[in-house]
Amino acid sequence: MEYDNYDDDNDVYEDINNITALISVFMQKALESASHYTIQSGRKIVSPIDISMALKREMFIFMKRDDIEEKTNQILDEIEVEQEIKDNLNDEDLEKFEHLENEEIKEIEDDFIVDDEDMQEEWIECKTDDPVCVEMNIYYKKFNDFEPSNKFEQLVFNSIVNIDNQFNL
């Protein structure tokens, strides 16, 4: 009986890892698009609007991308390696490891995240014929009339609406 529960627990962890990896790839692709859109617009700072537009584009094109499985498997490998490291640490070393992870995240935030008050750059729509920018502009407008057709689409749609509401977009 314990063996069955163990298998169920492993399945749950595997599902969580798969979802984590998929969401990570989704977000990476969206952030790459937001950065690209910003540069093509002649701006230097990625704004919440750029991210919102990129998330909306990603919702429409993500499952059509050719490299999703490869990218997801790369992240799953990273998750597995990190979990193996954590599993082999004693409590004290695990605490130190997690502290270092948090410090690294804080350092990245300090280096790359700009407070809205410090953002003096005006948002400008990208009007080039660059394919990514054209798609982002189209999907940004199309999003408002979109009707999700399954639970995944509904979840992503609701999450993007919540993000937009949080940032008053």
Domain ranges in the chain are 2-166
The predicted model scores a pTM of 0.79
Is 31 in contact with 54 (CB distance < 8 Å)? yes
Is 47 in contact with 129 (CB distance < 8 Å)? no
Question: Which residue type sits at 121?
Answer: E
List of residues 6+ apart from 52 with CB closer than 8 A: 140, 160, 163, 164, 167, 169
Q: Is 26 exposed, middle or buried (0-12, 13-18, 19+ CB in 10 A)?
A: buried
pLDDT per residue as tens digits for the range 22-64: 999 999 999 999 999 999 999 998 999 999 999 999 999 998 9
pLDDT per residue as tens digits for the range 124-145: 899 999 999 999 999 999 998 9
pLDDT band (50, 70, 90) for residue 105: confident
List the beta strands (DSSP E) in 78-118.
none
